[in-house]
A and B are shown apart, each in its own frame.
Chain A
Amino acid sequence: DAKTTQPPSMDCAEGRAANLPCNHSTISGNEYVYWYRQIHSQGPQYIIHGLKNNETNEMASLIITEDRKSSTLILPHATLRDTAVYYCIVRGDDKIIFGKGTRLHILP
């Protein structure tokens, strides 16, 4: 699976949009981009995924660049409950490798 690169930490003011970047420059044409988040020491929770089109659900939006080498997860109105570690991964067929993710701090 392709590797991803994320900033180790980010801050966002409560009520503002949180934009979390991810670089996946070696992604293959048929690999999907997935985002998960982990709150405290709970099991990671699925947020959203996409192939090449932008995607939106009730939790977030996913913007994938046209060349698919990077993506951005957008939490439109961040709350304190969005404080978590966010993981961007690329899924091929079998090995699903997580990096260290981005620790998002929501500031009151």
Chain B
Amino acid sequence: NAGVTQTPKFQVLKTGQSMTLQCAQDMNHEYMSWYRQDPGMGLRLIHYSVGAGITDQGEVPNGYNVSRSTTEDFPLRLLSAAPSQTSVYFCASSYQGKRGELFFGEGSRLTVL
């Protein structure tokens, strides 16, 4: 099993550009989520999904879109990147329910100039 795979690992964007961070998992997990982590901060939840076709907002959803067309994939879209979105992004997945541990990807480091 590959676990949770994020691409790209590094990306530099200019203000106003758009891009998609990809996240895929091969564990048949219902639950998937995106977090961002800024220096010295913990992880903040952006969006999450409890299954294909279902998404919901987390703590800091503004400026980000998500979709969940398949169980395996949960892409995060930045429609018009801003310097405030410079961060490290982590994707995570788990079985649904209170007893599912989260499995994290290795992270995607995004810089917006």
Q: Do A and B bind each other?
A: yes
Structural contact, A32 and B42, CB atoms closer than 8 A: no
Residue-by-residue, is B98-110 near A (CB-CB < 8 Å gives 1, otherwise 0)?
Answer: 1111111111000
| Complex interface residues of chain A between 52 and 108 (CB less than 8 A to chain B) | 85, 87, 91-101
Interface size on A, residues (CB 8 A): 25
Structural contact, A36 and B102, CB atoms closer than 8 A: yes
B48: chain A residues at CB < 8 Å are 94-96
Chain A interface mostly = loop
When A41-B88, A46-B103 are in contact, do A96 and B33 touch as well, CB less than 8 Å?
yes
When A41-B88, A98-B35 are in contact, do A30 and B102 touch as well, CB less than 8 Å?
no
Q: B44 is contacted by which of A31, A32, A91, A98 (Cβ under 8 Å)?
A: A98
- Please tell me if B97 contacts chain A, counting CB pairs below 8 Å: yes
Structural contact, A97 and B45, CB atoms closer than 8 A: yes
Q: B107 is contacted by which of A30, A42, A91, A97 (Cβ under 8 Å)?
A: A42
| Minimum C-beta distance from B2 to chain A (A) | 13
Structural contact, B102 and A46, CB atoms closer than 8 A: yes
A91: chain B residues at CB < 8 Å are 98, 100
- Please tell me if B75 contacts chain A, counting CB pairs below 8 Å: no
- Please tell me if B56 contacts chain A, counting CB pairs below 8 Å: yes
Structural contact, B104 and A45, CB atoms closer than 8 A: yes
- Closest residue of chain B to A98, judged by CB? B43
- Please tell me if A21 contacts chain B, counting CB pairs below 8 Å: no
Residue-by-residue, is A18-56 near B (CB-CB < 8 Å gives 1, otherwise 0)?
Answer: 000000000000111010100001111110010000000
Task: Please list the residues of chain A having a beta carbon within 8 angstroms of any beta carbon in chain B.
Answer: 30-32, 34, 36, 41-46, 49, 85, 87, 91-101
